[in-house]
Structure 1
Amino acid sequence: MSGSQPQEARMKIGIIGAGSIGATLARKWVTLGHEVFLANSRGPDSLRELAAGIGATPVTTAQAARSGEVVVVTIPQRAVLDLPKDLFQGVPADVVVIDTGNYYPTRDGAISALQGGQPESAWVSEQLGRPVVKAFNNIYFKSLAEKGLPPGTPGRIALPVSGAPPEARAKVLRLIDALGFDPVDAGGLEESWRQQPGTPCYTRDLDAPALKEALAAADRSRIPEYRKAADDAVKHFFATQTPRRP
């Protein structure tokens, strides 16, 4: 998917987090004609080279939260606790907040509410004091960067979207379609556990019919099992990385 969108469809989008998913979304949205404001925990100076290469504007987290119609929070789960408590204070209620995060105990430590079964994005919503829409959490960044296809293409990868309010979810569904993926409405935030790490739809690059089947097949009683499988994969990944020289 490339080329600019019509002027009326262009948006200002803030992204908090400049890792693989955040940078990929920034690059793709700039290509589609949106104005993107990129932030991380280290401040704008640390992002100037990356932002320049993408065509985004480096900003503070507070500026990203106030930058426009959509704000994406794409940081490790534990880092949500480090965001300013007033981050969204005064931000209009119709600004859509997207949570792309996943909870991995190996990386994020023990978060009792999540280990007790609270859906991950419901917990994020509580920390931010804002409704959130869960999206982009179940796809590898390389698939997000490289596998978008025009609407109607057989085998087009589908992505689930859950959250509230419904009009916010609808806006995210449209954004996903424009990025080259089939959007699937997965319901309210209480259903977001169906797309958490280790569930049947997680990182499998499914088309829309298969994704809907995978979401329906998820078993809430198996969340600890799903999470352990995903967490074990994270442990293996870190164990096989070559240590960096000092």
Structure 2
Amino acid sequence: MERHERRTQVNRVTLGIIGTGMVGSAVARRATDAGLHVVLSNSRGPETLADLVAELGDRATAATPAEAASAGDLVLAAVPLAFHERLPRAELSGKTVIDPMNYALYPGFSIPELDSNELTSSELVQRHLADSRVVKALHNYGPKQMLEMFRPAGADDRTALPLHGDDATAKKEVADLLDVLGFDAVDLGTLPESWRSEPNTPLYALPYIGQPPSGLTPQEFVAWAQQATGIPVPAARIKELAAAAVRGTAGFRM
């Protein structure tokens, strides 16, 4: 009964989504299919989202990032980490913000505080969104797998996803959302500990898709991972892999 009541409450939630690339669009599809309302936004304007909103149906609307932030009970900030300072800080004040961003290293781009492991990328986001409750989630799992691997609660092959955050209530909100989307959640601690599920750790991508062919360039690996068939990963395995992680060089190299 408690789970049913919790799911009913989450189904009344409006999910604001800032960024409609592969991650934002996949979460929007899964959320509307699961019965949630979503408010979509990107940097190019609501009019550019007309086709996506039409595809998603009457549970989806388009807005500006500031409007999506204001409308969302929870907000997914699915933008490149390099643009995190463009997130609407005032409108996100007091909100739980889901951070799926990863540090990807491009030629000519680096963040010294991340390179030195002084901060994790989610701590950097939390520093910008000082009045929000940032929860790291949906960052180590592919959009294709999200749309194919969701399962009802209690299913033997239900997949678990890690989350990190400094606020217990915010983490519960995100865990409840993941449950409605069709996934279990594993709380792996605080934002300073979020490196345990970031790129270059055993929890990043591969447990859910298996080993790639040998000899792939980083770009080829990304393309392969985006099309790979999903593999169920239970909560116990998530905990094992997180415990085995060793902190090394930050960032996924492109």
The unaligned stretches of length 5 or more in structure 2 are: 1-6, 209-232
After the TM superposition, which parts of structure 1 deviate over 3 Å for at least 4 consecutive aligned residues?
Answer: 5-9
Q: Tell me what 1:54 maps to.
A: 56
Alignment check: 8 A CA contact 1:77 1:108 kept: no
Aligned amino acid, residue 96 of structure 2: V
- Higher alpha-carbon deviation: 107-116 or 49-58: 107-116
Q: 1:155 to 1:8 in 2, by over 3 A?
A: closer
Q: 1:92 to 1:155 in 2, by over 3 A?
A: same
| Percentage identity across paired residues of the two chains | 37
Q: Tell me what 1:98 maps to.
A: 98
Q: Tell me what 2:246 maps to.
A: 219
Q: Tell me what 2:234 maps to.
A: 207
Q: 1:186 to 1:39 in 2, by over 3 A?
A: same
> Partners of 2:244 and 2:189 in 1: how far apart?
15
> Partners of 1:140 and 1:114 in 2: how far apart?
23
Q: 1:116 to 1:216 in 2, by over 3 A?
A: same
Matched position secondary structure for 1:172: helix
Q: Tell me what 2:82 maps to.
A: 78
The unaligned stretches of length 5 or more in structure 1 are: 236-246
Give the alignment of 1:136-151 within 5 angstroms.
136-151=138-153
Matched position secondary structure for 1:89: helix
The one-character-per-residue Cα deviations of 1:24-43 (angstroms, maximum 9, x if unpaired) are 11111112221100001111
- TM-score computed with the length of structure 2 as normaliser: 0.81
Cα-Cα RMSD: 1.8
Q: How much has 1:64 moved relative to structure 2?
A: 0.9
Structure with more contact order per residue of length (Cα contacts < 8 Å, sep ≥ 6): 2
The one-character-per-residue Cα deviations of 1:116-162 (angstroms, maximum 9, x if unpaired) are 21111101111233330000000011111110112222232110010
Matched position secondary structure for 2:90: coil
Q: 1:8 to 1:18 in 2, by over 3 A?
A: closer
> Partners of 2:31 and 2:37 in 1: how far apart?
8
Q: 1:105 to 1:11 in 2, by over 3 A?
A: same
Q: 1:161 to 1:90 in 2, by over 3 A?
A: same
Q: How much has 1:90 moved relative to structure 2?
A: 5.4
Q: Tell me what 2:35 maps to.
A: 33
